[in-house]
Amino acid sequence: MSTKNIAILASGSGSNAQAIMDACKQNEIAGVVRIIISDNPKAYVLQRAEENNIKTVVERDFEKIKNLLEQEKIDLIVLAGYLKILPKSFIKQFENKIINIHPSLIPSFCGEGFYGEHVHRAAIERGVKVSGCTTHFVNEIADGGPIIFQKVVEVKQDDDYKTLAKRILEQEHPLLVKSCKYFCEDRLEVKGHMVYIKEKKCEH
């Protein structure tokens, strides 16, 4: 099993990106983060990348981003708090190679306009008893791609959107790492709108 080359696209603080970098360092993920690309020159994720000696680029032009990914021979693209919408042509070129994490149990509180605190505010206002997070492959529909893994988080009676967001974020990190790990072990197979999890091959 060859080591996969990973690119992370992020717009903010990059705590999910940090979890992936750490997991790669500890050989939990059979991959190497080759580049971190941000649309935001002030994003803290860029500092995290530099501290880990990972190449950083600030770029908003998707044609240039595509060229960068090809140069780095990227196998997996991870959206870790990336707030720009990917063009359809970009998604098609990297079909089933882009993983996103969303802070709810898709199909609840997802799609256009549902990101960051908007998701948690909507969950609190609706009075749901559970929320959580979802990893999925990206397709042309916002948060509409095949679901990989989900983690349920209880919504407590005294939660506000901030306390709920904090507890969900704690679950996002291991869920995203697990998704990247399984991808890099070639254990995720997409058939139609379903992701099938394959058994890990025993290495002799």
> CA geometry: angle at 14 spanning 48 and 3, to 5°?
75
pLDDT one-digit tens code per residue, 6-39:
999 999 999 999 999 999 999 999 999 999 999 9
- For 154-172, the pLDDT digits (tens) are 999 999 999 999 999 999 9
Nearest to 107 by CA among 92, 119, 117: 119
- Is the model's pTM score more than 0.85? yes
Type of residue at 119: V
DSSP states along 88-129: HHHHHHTTT-EEEEESS-TTTT-STT--THHHHHHHHHHT-S
Q: What is the mean pLDDT of residues 171-189?
A: 98
Q: Which two tokens stand for residue 189?
A: 């197979």
Domains recognised in the chain with CATH numbers: 4-188 (3.40.50.170)
Cis peptide bond N-terminal to 146, omega within 30:
no
Catalytic residue among 102, 120, 136, 173: 102
Q: At what angle do helices 15-25 and 161-184 cross, to 10 degrees?
A: 30
pLDDT reported for residue 202? 63
Task: Output 129-133 pairs: Cβ under 8 A, ≥24 positions apart.
Answer: 129/154, 129/155, 130/105, 130/154, 130/155, 131/103, 131/104, 131/105, 131/155, 131/164, 131/168, 132/104, 132/105, 132/168, 132/171, 133/101, 133/102, 133/103, 133/104, 133/105, 133/168, 133/171, 133/172, 133/175
Is 193 annotated as catalytic? no
Report the pLDDT value the prediction gives residue 169, as an integer from 0 to 100: 95
Q: Please determine, for residue 184, whether its predicted confidence score (pLDDT) is greater than 80.
A: yes
Closest to 153 measured CA to CA, from 178, 174, 136 = 174
